[in-house]
Amino acid sequence: MRLDKFISNNTDLTRSIIKRFAKDGLISVNGKVTKDTSIHISDLDTILVRGTEIRPVGKAYYMFNKPSGIVCANSDGEHLTVIDLVAEQELQSYEKNTQAPSPYDLQIAGRLDLDTTGLVLLTNDGDWNHKVTSPNFSCLKCYHVELEQDISDEVKQFFTDGILLEGEKKKTKPASLTIEAPRKVLLEISEGKYHQVKRMFSAVGNKVVKLHRQSIGEIQLDPELPEGKLRRLTLEEVNSVYALKNQSDNNTGSNK
């Protein structure tokens, strides 16, 4: 990789500033000052800019415990965002000898509504994010739901069979509904349509009054993680997403 590209990829410096720093003798490769930013470097080279070592940005994976009233976005003119809260905390990369990404380079894998609480995943790994969010990988999301009205056992079959939501042409994928109390249920879905959980219960004549996401795939919200805080995922948690298979490869006739 070219020296200038490496520095620009892993810092906030523009190409023009990098060239100026090089001209002023502020960039070195393996201890030797270089004014040629077009040279190619390897992973073994040590790059210093103004005396600071520049390391590549590593892949990073986090869970975040989202409070109510926080927007799942990088920026918002009215509300605090997940990224606003993440930016206040120390980030760590997943790979050795790498630097953590900027919080503003993180992607939110599985967004939640403003008033919904619980598990949100963040990463700078686009392939990993795709496995979490694409319906083709059928990554299960589990929600604790509190309802306005009592729910009966008969309603469970609608979720199992799939529900045709308003404005949609196809039914939702089969979902698993467990009734824990007359107005409290546990719902597992493998999609992420717009306001899907709320729309599903609206379609069967009920209304969601409280919604909390407990898990995504095999990743459970850490009970020790306070609201508004994040922690780095374990290797096992990261690999559980990598292990997801593309269901469309084996079941092209499935209801997507």
* Beta-sheet pairing, 117-123 with 208-216: parallel
Residues 6 or more apart in contact with residue 48 via CB below 8 angstroms: 27, 28, 54
pLDDT, tens digit, 9 for 90 and up, residues 100-144 = 889 999 999 989 999 999 999 999 999 999 999 998 999 999 999
76 classed as catalytic? no
**Do 133 and 146 belong together in one domain?**
no
Q: What pLDDT shows up at residue 255?
A: 37
- In the chain, pLDDT over 70 holds for what percent of residues? 97
Q: What pLDDT shows up at residue 249?
A: 63
pLDDT, tens digit, 9 for 90 and up, residues 156-210 = 999 999 999 998 999 999 999 999 999 999 999 999 888 999 999 999 999 999 9
- For range 206-222, the mean pLDDT: 98
Output the domain CATH number for residue 203.
3.30.70.1560
**Do 167 and 64 belong together in one domain?**
no
Residue 205, Cβ neighbours under 10 Å: how many? 10
**Do 23 and 61 belong together in one domain?**
no
**Catalytic residue chosen out of the listed positions 12, 84, 105, 113:** 113
Residues 6 or more apart in contact with residue 100 via CB below 8 angstroms: 57, 58, 60, 90, 91, 92, 93
**Do 133 and 230 belong together in one domain?**
yes
In the chain, the number of structural domains is 3
184, β-bridge pairs: 146, 181
Q: What pLDDT shows up at residue 252?
A: 46
**Do 111 and 236 belong together in one domain?**
yes
Pair of tokens at residue 195: 């306001």
Q: What pLDDT shows up at residue 77?
A: 86
Radius of gyration of the chain (CA): 23
**Do 109 and 7 belong together in one domain?**
no
pLDDT, tens digit, 9 for 90 and up, residues 10-45 = 998 999 999 999 999 999 999 999 999 999 999 889
